[in-house]
Amino acid sequence: MTESRDLRLADGRMLRWYDSAPGADPPHADAPVVVWHHGSPATGAPPPPLVEEAAARGIRLLSYARPSYAGSTPRPGRDVASAAGDVEAVADAAGVALFASVGYSGGGPHALATAALLPSRVTGVVTLAGVAPYTDVFDWFAGMHAPGALRAALAGRDARARFAEADEFDPEAFLPADLEALDGRWSWIGADAGRAEAAGPDGLVDDDVAYANDWGFSLDEVGAPVLVVQGEHDRIVPRKHAAWLMSRLRDGTMWARLDDGHVSILDTIPDALDWLRDHAFPPAEPARHDRTDDHRTEH
């Protein structure tokens, strides 16, 4: 069972985080670890299907709520890079040295931030429908069904907050495959977004401003292997974002999913966890027999 905890940070903020192996008792103490970076909006709790798939593979799962979501204190002016310090604090509190980062949608940039800024601790990254850094090299908004929120975020937080006052979600942003996923295995994602929205718009506003402005690091700083998973017809984060990520990453692999959109892409999580097992988790050291404990004598 996943347990939620509150962590007091050095700057006085509170951070809500989650652990699928509270106490980290054996065999969890030696289990590979994945840190989950939630989409926008969300409470930070890990989706139950992800928890199940991680448990089936012996993976310990950590996650946290970014500032202004759930029980995490706001952090005015935060950028994407600021996630690295928060994740490091969570990993330290959990007694975890090495981990992989998995980010969905708006969580993708934050997963990449941890790899760029914590290179000695992050062993691999998966981004699922992840946003690319804002650039004018290509039309960053092209293919987004409703880019108004991010266009407003580009103008600053005040503009994005004003947009939030009248913003309404358009279900046409979802493909039929997405709607099917939201009615089925991934219904929790929609319900969790609703819980986050009910608590107010600040988390989403701050996320959008962070995405549309300088992230605080560059993609070429990411040295760990990265798997970029993208739905070909995603109407929220278009395919061009994945292509741009791939053109800037030092060690990137891309899975293009021809029939998936923004939510149905989550069905690739089992395969993505297997990819991490093969590319990001260091092999366990074989058990050694200490002969100094052997007190047998021959007569």
Residue 108 pLDDT greater than 70, yes or no: yes
Average pLDDT over residues 220-231: 98
CA–CA gap between residue 199 and residue 105 (Å, rounded):
20
Average pLDDT over residues 99-112: 98
Q: How many CB atoms lie within 10 A of CB 179?
A: 15
Angle at 15 between CA 151 and CA 195, to 5 degrees: 60
- 């942003």: which residue's tokens? 173
Q: Can you give the C-alpha Rg of the chain in angstroms? A: 20
pLDDT at 27: 42
Residue 287 pLDDT greater than 80, yes or no: no
pLDDT at 299: 32
DSSP state of 65: P
CA–CA gap between residue 178 and residue 171 (Å, rounded):
10
Cβ partners under 8 Å of residue 153, min gap 6: 159, 160, 205, 208, 209, 211, 212, 213
pLDDT at 23: 53
Confidence band, pLDDT 50/70/90 cuts, at residue 22:
low
**Which residue intervals of 127-280 are DSSP H helices?**
148-154, 157-164, 176-183, 187-198, 202-212, 239-248, 269-279
Distances (CA, A) of 256 to 51, 124, 125, 217: 24, 19, 16, 26
Q: CATH homologous superfamily of domain 3-280?
A: Alpha/Beta hydrolase fold, catalytic domain (3.40.50.1820)
Confidence band, pLDDT 50/70/90 cuts, at residue 297:
very low
Dihedral sign for Cα 193, 216, 124, 19, please: negative
pLDDT at 298: 34
pLDDT at 289: 43
From its phi and psi, is residue 68 left (phi > 0), alpha (psi between -120 and 50) or beta? left
Lowest-confidence segment of 33-42, 45-54, 171-180, 286-295 by average pLDDT:
286-295
DSSP state of 72: P
Task: Note whether 262 and 178 are within 8 A (CB).
Answer: yes
30 vs 64 pLDDT, higher one: 64
Average pLDDT over residues 207-222: 98
Residue 266 pLDDT greater than 60, yes or no: yes
pLDDT at 30: 78
DSSP helix/strand/coil, 286? coil
Mind listing the pLDDT tens digit for each residue in 179-205? 999 999 999 999 999 999 999 999 999
User: Which tokens hold the place of 190?
Assistant: 């929609």
Average pLDDT over residues 256-284: 94
| Residue 169 burial (10 A CB sphere; 0-12, 13-18, 19+) | exposed
Average pLDDT, the chain: 92
Model-wide pTM > 0.75: yes
Average pLDDT over residues 249-277: 98
User: Which tokens hold the place of 178?
Assistant: 């997405």
Average pLDDT over residues 247-275: 98
Confidence band, pLDDT 50/70/90 cuts, at residue 294:
very low
Residue 31 pLDDT greater than 80, yes or no: yes
Residue 285 pLDDT greater than 80, yes or no: no
CA–CA gap between residue 273 and residue 60 (Å, rounded):
12
Confidence band, pLDDT 50/70/90 cuts, at residue 107:
very high
Write down the domain spans for the chain. 3-280
